[in-house]
Amino acid sequence: DAGVIQSPRHEVTEMGQEVTLRCKPISGHNSLFWYRQTMMRGLELLIYFNNNVPIDDSGMPEDRFSAKMPNASFSTLKIQPSEPRDSAVYFCASCPGTGSYNEQFFGPGTRLTVL
Amino acid sequence: AQTVTQSQPEMSVQEAETVTLSCTYDTSESDYYLFWYKQPPSRQMILVIRQEAYKQQNATENRFSVNFQKAAKSFSLKISDSQLGDAAMYFCAYRSANDMRFGAGTRLTVKP
């Protein structure tokens, strides 16, 4: 398996623009997580899905952030409008099953820079 | 909310020696799991070891082992016979049915 795939790997955009990050989980995995990593705040869970349904989005920083999972093989994280403080590495991870014991398999991350 | 604390921002170890990374957590839940993840410079997060809270026996994976003290809410990672490839950021993580949190990380340097 190719593992979790994220695109783009790097994104540079200007403040105010819309940004869409994409994730393809490992085939057969039932859970998907979006994280944000910064030097200041470390690794933060933004939202996670079980069987394509959003379970907990309490980590989403504000209404400018939205996430969707239209099917089991694709998810997006959208920021509109983007701001410089959104600059971070965004990780997607998937899990086989929905239990807490399952290992999360992380993608390579998307480094977002908002100018 | 559950918190995960890694009190050592940086640690250093001589190659072939042993190092222990600390992690404490706060929770009122009884059913949860603890993980250590490694993040090398490539940025890829890799699972090192996991521990079920209901198990008293400490988990072991080759050179990696944990010291899980449930009453003290402590979950330290011991790396034996350290290798240059062990140099990375190490994150302690807590997961339950209601929560998923990571510590701030410990940067481990391995000296040849």
Q: Please count the CA atoms within 13 angstroms of the CA of A68 that sit on its side-chain side.
A: 6
A36, A44, A101: best to mutate for the B interface, most B CBs within 10 A: A101
CB-CB neighbors (< 8 A) of B1 in chain A: none
A100 and B95 within 8 Å at the Cβ level: the answer is yes
B45 and A33 within 8 Å at the Cβ level: the answer is no
CA distances in angstroms from B35 to A20, A29, A61, A65, A70, listed in the order given: 30, 19, 25, 28, 29
pLDDT tier, B60 (very low <50, low <70, confident <90, very high otherwise)? very high
CA distances in angstroms from A74 to A6, A102, B35, listed in the order given: 10, 20, 26
pLDDT digits over B68-106, tens only? Answer: 999 999 999 999 999 999 999 999 999 988 788 999 999
CB-CB neighbors (< 8 A) of B103 in chain A: 42
How far apart are the CA of B32 and the nearest CA of chain A, in angstroms?
Answer: 7
Indicate whether A90 pLDDT > 90: yes
The residue of chain B nearest to residue A94, with distances taken between CA atoms, is: B45
pLDDT digits over B34-56, tens only? Answer: 999 999 988 889 999 999 998 88
Measured CA to CA, the distance from residue B35 to residue A25 in angstroms comes to: 20
Question: Which of B39-56 are b and which e, b meaning 16 or more Cβ less than 10 Å from the residue's Cβ?
Answer: beeebbbeebbbbebeee
B103 and A42 within 8 Å at the Cβ level: the answer is yes
